Amino acid sequence: MEVLNDLKLVRWSAVALLLVTGIIDLYYGNSFAGFYENLWYVMGGIYIFAALVIAANIEPHFSQLTVFAYTLFLWSVWATVAVGTGTGLDVVAYADKAIEAVLAVNMVLLFRSSRRV
Amino acid sequence: MIGSGFGKLSSAKLLTAAALIAISSGAVVGLSVGYVVHYSAPTTRTFYLFDGTLPFSERTFYNIPHDTFVPDTITVDKGDHVVIHYINIEDAAESHTFTMDLPYTFDAILYGNATQQGVVGTYPNVGNIVLSQGQNATITFTANWAGTFHYYCAIHQPTMTGYLVVIG
């Protein structure tokens, strides 16, 4: 029972983090001038869609692993683009990436917990 | 999928594999973007703007001369912080405005002329500022919207019009 409660907690915290990250990405695309802002809309949209998938617990193992990989993928893209071009180095992006890092850890916990159940 | 080979692997192995694939593919995409897209990060661009006169003496209604902006085009990249030092260099008592239509507004600091020393006024988030003869103003804004927008003197139309070109 306790494991199930923990699983729920981790799952809903993942959903919250995904929503927050998605909203930040949409905001960033809307407010940040200069660099492929439409991509931020797409990234934000995917995060919000992922939040719905995780909340609905659809194919949990596959979706959790995919979201984990997606988070790391975006983190890696951001870091290399930032180093290469000097873009995306601002407070909003830092906040977004910090939350993404927490989200990645959260997805690891969720994935491990859900496979144990 | 979970019930097949995917399900037999341990969580740690799956997470490690996913992380390695995601990070390496993300790095490849990011480096490619950095290589292909020659992007210049937003910067501060400074311009000096003056009033000018067309080389004929004909005047419009109300005896207003055909004045111009020099330069009449300001080109920046989207996201740039724009600083315009606008100086009214009229040799007679003649005012000019610097006016922009929405979506653009600007912050302005107005400095005095020979008879009014120092800062005459500060105007945050306005679309219009008036400069008397000899006055100058520092106008600042961020080029958040791409496209072509005009800046103009509301007194000396239609000739005193310039274009802000924001490339984005």
B9 and B58 housed in the same domain: no
B127 and B92 housed in the same domain: yes
- Taking CA–CA distances from B31, the nearest residue in chain A reads A80
Provide φ and ψ at B53, rounded to 5°. Answer: -130, 135
The parent domain of residue A14 ranges over: 2-116
| Candidates A68, A73, A112; nearest CB to B26 | A73
B49 and B23 housed in the same domain: no
How large is the average pLDDT for residues B12-35? 88
pLDDT on residue B1: 47
Report residue B37 as tokens.
Answer: 């897209």
Instruction: Tell me how far apart the alpha carbons of residues A85 and B24 are, in angstroms, rounded to a whole number.
Output: 19
B80 and B150 housed in the same domain: yes
CB A69 within 8 A of CB A107: no
Chain A contacts of B19, Cβ < 8 Å? Answer: 68-69, 72
B28 and B48 housed in the same domain: no
* Cβ-defined contact of B31 to A80 (cutoff 8 Å): yes
What residues in chain A have per-residue pLDDT under 50?
33
The parent domain of residue B13 ranges over: 5-36
| Candidates B15, B30, B168; nearest CB to A77 | B30
B27 and B81 housed in the same domain: no
What CATH number is attached to the domain comprising B49?
2.60.40.420
**Tens of pLDDT along B115-149?**
777 888 899 999 999 998 888 999 999 998 888 99
CB B4 within 8 A of CB A52: no
CB B136 within 8 A of CB B75: no
B161 and B104 housed in the same domain: yes
**Tens of pLDDT along B29-84?**
888 887 776 666 678 899 999 888 776 666 665 666 678 888 889 999 888 899 99
| Total domains in the fold of chain A | 1
B25 and B62 housed in the same domain: no
Chain A contacts of B35, Cβ < 8 Å? Answer: 84
* Cβ-defined contact of B2 to A78 (cutoff 8 Å): no
- Taking CA–CA distances from B1, the nearest residue in chain A reads A62
B89 and B128 housed in the same domain: yes
B55 and B107 housed in the same domain: yes
How large is the average pLDDT for residues B90-105? 87
B78 and B133 housed in the same domain: yes
| Total domains in the fold of chain B | 2
| Candidates A69, A87, A115; nearest CB to B21 | A69
